[in-house]
Amino acid sequence: MILKIDNLTKIYGKRTILDQLSLSVEEPQIIALVAPNGTGKTTFLNIMCDLEGYQSGSIEILGLPNTDRHVFSEMTFMQDNSILYDELTGMDHMKFIASMYHKTQADIAKVAQLVGVEDYLNKAVGKYSLGMKQHLLFAMGILPEPKVFLLDEPLNGLDPDSVINVRNILKEMADSGTTILFSSHNLGEVVKLTDNILFLHEGKLKSEKDIFENEERWTLVVESVDELEQHLLELSLEYQILNSHKIEITTTEDRLAHIRDFLQEQNLDLWDVTKTEWDLEQVYLDLFERTSS
């Protein structure tokens, strides 16, 4: 088991940030943690790295409690740039990480070239732009070659070419056996990196299936939408008429089978059925805007 989190609860004052949150990860993969800013993404990652306490629950990483120091020889965390020291150079930071993880100067040079920080490693970090700091933090995170890599908003401040480079590096790491968990509110970039998306909503992690209770969106092409519509109203199903023959329905596979039977009983032709992917942006808006309204 790579990650095992059971009933994790974190409370600030009267506000429950994480509410009996659970997560299990058995195989290396890329997981996106999506939510608006200020909803607990960073808190969750900090707790996983034993940087913050929590009220109840348990966390195991690579089969060990997250408080076990041995975990940190196999896991790294790309935090925000507040952890950097302005008076030190990028190379100072990289050498510090290298000393902790028994990496060489050659390892530093290889990672610096891969990430694209070699031209300014010898400058003081206080002179870095936001994008340069993000590059350095990313390089520091991948230098140890971790089995588990946590990242907090890793794409902030990066130009398009850098975003593509980071995305490609993360995919290569995942292909080589690293489990990657990153937080983001950039939906467009999330879907380019992974389809394994978890929404942090009201203190719990929810997949699309959790949100829609195993409902899917189906596009049906039928002989008569009008006759089918009345039946859908009786079933209290959500639908959208696209034209006189095409209709989009939100329902379970069992209910879809029932609709097929109805059409057959009414001698209405069903010409085509296709499953329609959920629109991630709409899922996000439905989940978080309805909650806040």
pLDDT of residue 80: 92
pLDDT of residue 106: 98
Count, residues in the chain: 293
pLDDT of residue 138: 98
Architecture, CATH, for domain 211-292: 2-Layer Sandwich (3.30)
pLDDT of residue 293: 46
Report the b/e string of 94-128 with b at 16+ CB within 10 A. bbebbeeeebeeebbeebbebbbbbebbeeebeeb
Whole-angstrom distance, CA of residue 278 vs CA of residue 144: 37
| Ordered DSSP codes for 49-92 | TTSS--SEEEEEETTEETT-GGGGGTEEEE--GGGS-TTSBHHH
Whole-angstrom distance, CA of residue 97 vs CA of residue 116: 18
Instruction: For 178-187, write each residue's pLDDT tens digit.
Output: 999 999 888 8
Low-confidence ranges of the chain (pLDDT < 50): 293
Whole-angstrom distance, CA of residue 130 vs CA of residue 127: 10
Provide the whole-model pTM.
Answer: 0.79
Residue boundaries of the structural domains of the chain:
3-209, 211-292
* Torsional sign, CA 220, 225, 229, 235: negative
Instruction: For 94-107, write each residue's pLDDT tens digit.
Output: 999 999 999 999 99
Beta strands 148-152; 75-78: pairing state: parallel
* CATH entry, 3-209, from 1.10.357.10, 3.40.50.2020, 3.40.50.300, 3.40.190.10: 3.40.50.300
Say how many CA atoms lie within 13 Å of 205 toward its Cβ.
21
